[in-house]
Amino acid sequence: MAPKDKENARNDGPEALDSVGWTSAHTRRLVSADAPIELELGGTVGPVDVEYETYGTLSSRKDNVVFVAHALSGDAHVAGWDRDTAKNGRVWRQRKPGWWDAIVGPGKAIDTNRYFVICPNVLGSCYGTTGPGSLDEKTGKPYGLDFPMVTVGDWVAMHGRLLDALGIARVHAVVGGSLGGQQALEMALAFPDRVERAVVLAASARLSAQGLAFNAVARYCILNDPNFASGNYYDRASGPDNGLAAARMLAHITYLSDEGMHQKFGRRLQTDDGKKAGFGIEFAVESYLDYQGRAFAERFDANAYLYITRAMDYYDAAARWGEGSLVDACRRVRARALVVSFDSDWLYPPGDCKDLALALAKTDRPVTYANVPSRYGHDSFLVETQKVGRLLRSFLAH
């Protein structure tokens, strides 16, 4: 190991002064088996267990809560190093810290010396919160596609239940990127009196037709994988890994930008033997996507991917709260809002994000909207940690 690598390893590990260190998730039953809840689209579910992580210390007045909402493939493990990988089997977490470790920690933009950070895994996901892979107590088998359809509204209702269970009346801020940003918006709409600040990164009030199209292809890949078995693959030797990997490959393309891909991979070949003879992995970009696809299939549940992408498709803040008018919907909001877009993002394009910010502004609320120049596409909200960190740190401080 080169001296520089050694240094980095030490600075980036759980012992680093600005890391939240070793983490352990909590699980809480928020809905009991004998009192299932009704969901937005008519189904019912119960019991519901929610896995969540917290960092920092809740103040005695419970007024320092920063609620983080995760995105499509995210989980409650926002920061630090999972202590329980041997127990929970999430071995990939041994290689890297939580998904927003650059932003959340002692002295970082979301400063855990100051704030009490909470992030739950969403209903229908596969990281400890009840979802299609959970055991259906009625049948003794995993739900599979018998799991009811869930929505962003249902997730946020569950966030409300979690806050209730923790005795937290109001949050200092709710923060999220992408599908997490839509949860932040929905939380400001559904619980106007519980949210003081809402930070919506790389997200708008609804997904565009192009975004719907990407999700449709992703689901097609999963649903048509021969191992999908109508979603009842949990007791089989293999699940729809190829379909899920293909879905993830497509998703990764939507997270990057043309320019970003050009800079990262160009037309570089993976091997330099010069042979152009087959359909294997030849270009660097192919290798990258192949790796991302396989790695994802190891850590994510295909059914959960179906449910969560559908929730993403259905979300439309204007339809849900304003009878089609985003401005009318935004009249509910009491929070101070920060909306951030990234100029190379084509999943939630800047124009759509700006429309949300301007709808909020139209209701006489003070609003901040920033369009960050970046070539990292939709991923920018995770990658542009300096700019995003500066915006978050300052916005949360005022």
Partner 1 sequence: MTPQPRPAHKLVTDRELDHLPEGELEHRVTQIIALMKARRQRPAADESPRWQEEIIAKEIPMGASVLDLGCGDGFLLERLIRERNVRAQGVEIDPDQVYSCVDRGVPVIQADLSAGLLWCPDKAFDVVVLEETLQTLQNPRDVLEEMLRVGKRGIVSFPNFAHFRVVVDLVARGRMPVTPRLPFYWYESANIHLLTLRDLCDWAEGSGVRIVSGHVLVEGVPRELQPDDDLVAEEVLVVVERGGP
Catalytic, out of 82, 154, 345, 352: 345
C-alpha distances (whole Å) from 133 to each of 38, 50, 304 are 20, 14, 8
How far is 370 from 354, CA to CA, in rounded Å?
A: 8
Q: Shortest distance, CB of residue 208 to partner 1, whole angstroms?
A: 20
Nearer to partner 1, 253 or 356 (CB): 356
Q: Shortest distance, CB of residue 59 to partner 1, whole angstroms?
A: 21
Q: Shortest distance, CB of residue 387 to partner 1, whole angstroms?
A: 7
Count CB atoms within 10 A of the CB of residue 284. Answer: 17
Nearer to partner 1, 319 or 358 (CB): 358
How far is 13 from 85, CA to CA, in rounded Å?
A: 15
How far is 140 from 149, CA to CA, in rounded Å?
A: 20
Residue type present at position 165: A
Q: Shortest distance, CB of residue 327 to partner 1, whole angstroms?
A: 9
Give me 116's structure tokens.
Answer: 């009490």
Per-position DSSP letters for 181-247, written without gaps between them = HHHHHHHHHH-TTTBSEEEEES--SB--HHHHHHHHHHHHHHHTSTT-GGG--TTSS--SHHHHHHH
Q: Shortest distance, CB of residue 388 to partner 1, whole angstroms?
A: 11
152-165 and 179-190 helices, crossing angle to 10°: 70
Cis amide prior to 47 (ω within 30 degrees): yes
With a CB cutoff of 8 Å and minimum separation 6, the contacts of 60 are none
Residues that bind partner 1 (CB under 8 A): 336, 338, 354, 357-359, 361-362, 364, 366-373, 387, 390-391, 394-395, 397-398
Nearer to partner 1, 45 or 356 (CB): 356
Nearer to partner 1, 274 or 366 (CB): 366
Query: Catalytic annotation on 60?
Result: no
Nearer to partner 1, 197 or 248 (CB): 197
Query: Catalytic annotation on 345?
Result: yes
Q: Shortest distance, CB of residue 331 to partner 1, whole angstroms?
A: 12
Catalytic, out of 172, 378, 379, 380: 378
Nearer to partner 1, 251 or 372 (CB): 372
Catalytic, out of 178, 341, 344, 374: 178
Per-position DSSP letters for 346-387, written without gaps between them = SSS-HHHHHHHHHHHHTTT--EEEEEE--SSGGGHHHH-HHH
SS3 at position 84: coil
Q: Shortest distance, CB of residue 197 to partner 1, whole angstroms?
A: 11
Nearer to partner 1, 313 or 343 (CB): 343
How far is 64 from 33, CA to CA, in rounded Å?
A: 32
DSSP β-ladder status, 37-38 and 44-45 = antiparallel
Query: Catalytic annotation on 125?
Result: no
Which positions are annotated as active-site residues?
178, 345, 378
